[in-house]
């Protein structure tokens, strides 16, 4: 009986440790941040932000065979030229093999929403206040 209990506890411990190893890392999402550099290395594109998050200290990478590569690269290049901020979501299960440090695979890139310059914007998803006022005035004139 004692051997059976030891065997069962050992089997349970191995099963649990195997599950912990097999569990994929959860994706990391950055804050909105400016691009510090975009480089090409061995055919892959690497991106380094001003504020790389913990877990992706060495930046992000993507490969030309990745789905949506061209669109993501264009968005990154536009953001770098315009000095605007972006947010990146990484694929937690796929690390770049070119470095010993953790360099995360870029999965999604989003540009920071920017309000129309010179207008007072709301955060409720509605048009800016001055646009709403113009529309209300126009509707009153039509009545």
> What is the predicted pLDDT for the residue at 21?
42
**Averaged pLDDT for residues 85-104:** 71
48 lies in some domain: yes
9 lies in some domain: no
Asked whether the predicted pLDDT for residue 24 surpasses 70, the reply is: no
Number of domains in the chain: 1
Domain extent at residue 77: 25-114
pLDDT confidence band for 18 (50 / 70 / 90): very low
CA terminus-to-terminus distance, the chain = 90
> What is the predicted pLDDT for the residue at 93?
59
pLDDT tens figures, 36-81: 999 998 888 999 999 888 888 888 989 999 999 999 999 999 999 8
> What is the predicted pLDDT for the residue at 58?
84
Q: What is the CATH number of the domain that holds 87?
A: 2.40.50.340
Q: Residues 86, 35: contact at Cβ < 8 Å?
A: yes
pLDDT tens figures, 104-140: 889 899 988 765 555 554 445 556 666 777 788 888 8
Q: Which helix (H) or strand (E) holds 108?
A: strand 104-111
6 lies in some domain: no
Window from 20-24, 45-49, 90-94, 97-101 with minimum mean pLDDT: 20-24
CA distances from 114 to 24, 73, 89, 92, 118 (A): 34, 20, 20, 28, 12
Asked whether the predicted pLDDT for residue 91 surpasses 90, the reply is: no
Rg of the chain's alpha carbons, rounded to an integer?
Answer: 24
| DSSP code of residue 53 | P
> What is the predicted pLDDT for the residue at 17?
45
């Amino acid at each position: 009986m004692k051997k059976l209990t030891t065997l069962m506890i050992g089997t349970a411990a191995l099963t649990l440790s195997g599950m912990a190893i097999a569990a994929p890392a959860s994706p990391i999402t950055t804050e909105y941040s400016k691009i510090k550099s975009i480089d090409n290395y061995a055919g892959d594109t690497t991106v380094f932000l001003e504020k790389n998050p913990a877990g992706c200290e060495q930046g992000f990478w993507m490969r030309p065979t990745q789905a949506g590569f061209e669109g993501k690269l264009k968005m990154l290049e536009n953001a770098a030229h315009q000095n605007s901020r972006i947010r990146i979501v990484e694929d937690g299960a796929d690390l770049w093999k070119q470095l010993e440090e953790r360099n995360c695979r870029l999965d999604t890139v989003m540009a920071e929403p920017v309000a129309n310059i010179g207008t007072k914007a709301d955060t409720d998803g509605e048009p800016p206040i001055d646009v709403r006022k113009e529309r209300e005035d126009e509707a009153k004139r039509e009545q």
